[in-house]
Structure 1
Amino acid sequence: MKKAILVGCGAEIGANLLIQNDSEKDGFAIKMVVTNPPAIDKHYPKLRPIDGIVARLAMAQPGIQSVVEIINDNTLKIQGREIHFFFGDISKECPPIQEHYDIGFIATNKKDMDLNSPVALNMLRLSDIVLGVAESDSLKSIYGCLVDLTSNEISTINSMVVSAGMYCLGSCQTNGMHASLRVMVEALHAINRNASHILSIETDIVHPDTPNGVLGTRSFEGRMQDARDNLRPSFSQISMSQKKVMPWAPLINTVSLRAPVHAPGYQINRFIVEDNGALTTNLIEKSIESVSNALPYVVTHSQSPLGGRAYSYERRCSTILSDSNHLLILRPDYLAKKGLSEIIIQSFVNNTVGYTAVVRAVASNIAHGLPVATFKEI
């Protein structure tokens, strides 16, 4: 059993990792958490930072508090698993933790996803393998939705067993695009083609706002402006991963809006592929089912007209809408005469529970000594 340490325990990724971790299945157990102490309230003087952690867990999964036990000021038991907490800022000092860990998770801030950041340097002292839950040009990547592919399908993949070093795992929206890409690779394989026949991708996103959003207009930048009744233009980390995965296929991210809604988000991926008219929606549905059977945390499909809330607690990255209104294949003359098609895949992408399931799957492969899909830094 591998031992893991988590840095950052917000109500999104950090809390969900603590909730989802099943040591018997995963091959690793999160034993230690390093995080800034949650704020206390003068109206509740008896409450401690550890009570704030319970509150974050409850925000991540309402009702989980019924199976959380506070052992002392620095220890919780979650569904029978004992987890110790160190309350402090790891960017300022390395915690006085004597134990060494096999796997470390950084679930803090994108700026920490750098080998030279104070958080990364301290984490590499505490753990053999460090996994950052965001995107970074300067780090090698491990992409969980592409784990079973090789360089035969995507030429940039280096499938390998990881035993040391620091890697980024991509953002939630990066992995959402990769879920659709994984389906496209499966469909292309059925017609004797691979990812090299994808000529371009265009991605549009509606992203749920996060608890870190700022009320009040304090900046020109959309994400720092009032979230209420305000469509906020933003940007995505997807194009960063495209340079690593498919540098030959330009990826355009024209729309990335943040909206005050709950997870999951909504994503539209438009693939231009060289298929000579061979792809069909039925073939793509079969490809979704094939990937879902092999990697259930990556993708499934639905023909039911449900809203995103129906999928908010699914431990899965992406749910593709496969009905005839949403899964589309277009062949206008200017594409068809070149043997090209436009495949439009629309999906709900879960940026909390589902993304955590991808992170957990990557760490599980590492813990069990299985190969993962790695990509070079830029």
Structure 2
Amino acid sequence: MKTLADVLREALREKGIESIGTLSKRFRKSKNKLQDIAIEMVHGKGAIFRVPEKTAVAWDLSGNRVEGSYYAYAPLCMADKFEMVLSPEELRSKLPEWPYFIIDLQLWDKHTQKEKGKVCLQINQSYGLLRDYFTGRELAVTWANEEFRKMFHGPLDRITAYEGSTSEFLRGEGIDEVVLLDPWADEVLSEEDFGVKAFVIGGIVDTGGDKKLTPKIGEELEGAGIRVRRRKIVLRGDVIGVPDRINRILGILLEMLVEGKPMDEAVYEFQEPLHARWRLRKELPRRAIRYRIDGKDFRVVEKELFDEYSKWLKIRPEDFVKVLRELDLIALDRRRIHRLNKLSVPRVIRGRLYRVILLKKAAMLCYNC
């Protein structure tokens, strides 16, 4: 999907411009200079001008440093000093119809004050993610009541805040079908869903237990005549390990939608060790081998599993050790486990397979260690 930086790049090339500078130091530390310049232009803060002398600092349209340019971004207050070659209005006229990313706050009052604060923070962080690709206006917050407006410390004037319901907002925009990102959905999000004009992310945090509130948003939309595609984001087929914060879910969606990354890679990009440990707690017991040594039971996993899981879970050695302790598991290297298996006899005890080692063999094992 085309980004705002792509739109500016194309507009400049149409005019035969291959590099631009700036008359201030504002964008020199920017990671994506074209994107940040385009954002300011869209919001009417500046334009691209032709200047009589080369700028001291300039970049080509790929963001690489070059030796000056006769074209530069400058505030609109300088319009009477230089020749304007690309105005904010002209750039805005070239913007494609990007989808809306809707955060629905209809269940705002179901949250505690602490949860409401977290919602506001995550919405602010979501705006930051969207402005890295588009304009930020694509972030729509519905049911934006007075309490939310007072608690939200982000750029309220640069997002789309709507006091009414999501269905009313969608009808006003001529949208009759959406994708609802719902961890309890039956179907997984795929490229076939990327053609819709709106994605509904939620607007919910659950620090007080599993409320399963997201499906209620879908029910409200369907009741209002909006077609809803309920989709979930998974990591290797399971929602466990997928971040649950609004901004991180949006980040995963953008990595897939704009960057074209596979879902597992996108999830890994926005995963934290906390989320990785959730999944590790589920994965490790499946790989455990049960031993009964001298009447005592042990569950053992291979140490090498850390290397295997760290390829798709953001775990550190300390996370691996923490989960081992929580689950009362022992990690041994494959060589040791192979020796245990040679000394043991498989038996089914209470419906489960154990590898049983007699006291004499256990003593031999310890002696040879």
More strand per residue: 1
Indicate the TM-score class for this superposition, using the shorter chain for normalisation: under 0.3
More helix per residue: 2
TM-score by length of 2: 0.28
TM-score by length of 1: 0.27
Whichever of the two has the greater Rg, that structure is 2
